[in-house]
Amino acid sequence: MGRRVSSDLSGRSIRVGLDVGGTKTDAVAVDADGDIVARVRRPTGWGDEAVIASILDSVTALAEEGGFASSELRSVGVGIPGLVEPATGRVLHAVNLGVESLDIPGRAGSVLRVPIAVENDVKAAALGAAALRGDGASMAYLNLGTGVAAGIVTDGRIWRGVHGTAGEVGHLSVDPAGRLCGCGQRGCVETLCGGGALAKAWGRPGALPVRDIFEAAESGDPHALALRSDLARGAAAAVRILVLSVDVETVVIGGGLTALGDRLHTDIVDALRREAEGSAFMRSLRLDERIELLPVGSPAAALGAALVGASEHAPVPDKEIVPHG
């Protein structure tokens, strides 16, 4: 993979997208038609060196899986859970990866010799989810993971806002008497429907606390029932906020908590309907029909990262780059 990529018109044109998550990296290779021609999933390492190694190993594995040559690789896009400096692609505060500040374009680009674009994972997943829907309608991707945030796509592009805080609905308070949020405010959407906040409120050990909450709720445990209700209320609040501020057509819900599947979907639909019962205005918005759950195993996030890479016009590094900073 170390050769400089030339414009090889006889070969395919491959765009790679990587969703670098806290535990695994999901990688896809996309051809010029936008079709996924290869996909691999590998564990993500911890810390700067291991994250770079995960990225490079994933590209190598993809090339083997998809049978493409390094000369056919045109770009790599990386979606990552952290703050991404728009100008440099440097990742800051990716706490789930043990990364404080990492120049992925410089580090990985000097080896792969193709343009590397980096994007926040939720924004990348939003772009991928919109591409998978394919109807061009505006949408928001609401990520229910450890934390809660949304990515907004209009006219096929990520809506960033002025300072990149567009879609940060997780830290809007919807209950002044609610639980204290990790952000320091009280009653944030994330305190209701973030996996981290729910696990903390549940307070019992377990590998999959939110699944445990749902199981205990099904046995009638009152604390679990309350938390299950909170999850639906918080997600419903986020959906309302997205529709009554940006007014997207559809809210696609993804993230780790969507492993709960139909039970989660039903709960959120019920919450939206119940909370609209007394309001002709809210009923007229038909919010219960405007949400979708991203299927478990969807390649949306990695596909979105590939699209981010394909849309970037970053210079191709042709020599070793000394990481700055």
Measuring CA to CA, which residue among 209, 200, 206, 214 is closest to residue 261?
214
Stretch binding its own copies (CB under 8 A), from 68-76, 105-113, 238-246, 300-308: 238-246
Q: Which of residues 106-145 bind its own copies (CB under 8 A)?
A: 137-138
Does position 84 interact with its own copies (CB under 8 A)? The reply is: no
CB 129 within 8 A of CB 139: yes
Looking at 9, 207, 280, 322, which residue binds its own copies (CB under 8 A)?
280
Measuring CA to CA, which residue among 95, 57, 59, 53 is closest to residue 77?
59
Question: Within 10 A of 182 (CB to CB), how many other CB atoms are there?
Answer: 16
What is the C-alpha R_g of the chain?
Answer: 20
Does position 155 interact with its own copies (CB under 8 A)? The reply is: no
Looking at 161, 206, 261, 295, which residue binds its own copies (CB under 8 A)?
161
CB 118 within 8 A of CB 306: no
Query: What is the Cα–Cα distance from 97 to 80, expressed in whole angstroms?
Result: 9
Site residue total, its own copies (CB under 8 A):
43
CA dihedral of residues 297, 303, 304, 305 (deg, nearest 10): 110
Does position 156 interact with its own copies (CB under 8 A)? The reply is: no
* Shortest Cβ 139–its own copies spacing (Å): 9
Which H or E run includes 40? Answer: strand 36-43
Q: Which residues, in sequence order, are CB contacts of 6 under 8 Å at separation 6+?
A: 71
Does position 177 interact with its own copies (CB under 8 A)? The reply is: yes
Looking at 24, 42, 133, 160, which residue binds its own copies (CB under 8 A)?
160
Looking at 237, 257, 271, 305, which residue binds its own copies (CB under 8 A)?
237
Does position 153 interact with its own copies (CB under 8 A)? The reply is: no
Nearer to its own copies, 87 or 177 (CB): 177
Per-residue binding letters, 241-260, with its own copies (x by CB under 8 A)? xxxxxxxxx-----------
Looking at 11, 22, 98, 164, which residue binds its own copies (CB under 8 A)?
164
